[in-house]
Amino acid sequence: MVEVKRKEGESIANLIRRFSRKIQQSGILLNVRKTRFYKKPKSKLRIREEAKMRQEITKIKEKLRKLGKDEEEFDIRDRKLFKYLLGKEK
């Protein structure tokens, strides 16, 4: 709990500014924003699928790098291109 007491002769604006700074430094605001909405935990299957996808993307990026292609030229996040590149691999 953050507590700020008004100093003698301190304006309300300064008091609010000090309070805001203390709240931000304590991390309370960050924590509240994170827990504002419930986020359902990922299933084990989803975690495995995402890990596999990351490995595939890494392999494709490595091949493109070896071929001398720019990573910016091929946006791996583009699903159509990704499926096309995966199809070529097999």
| Model confidence pLDDT, tens digit, residues 29-85 | 888 888 899 889 999 999 999 999 889 888 887 887 888 877 666 665 666 766 776
More confident: 37 or 89 = 37
- Residue 53 is inside which H or E element, if any? helix 44-67
- Calpha distance 73→58 (Å, rounded): 16
Distances (CA, A) of 57 to 11, 20, 44, 72, 74: 57, 43, 20, 14, 11
- Residues 26, 6: contact at Cβ < 8 Å? no
Tell me, yes or no, if the pTM score tops 0.75.
Answer: no
Assigned token pair, 82: 């990704």
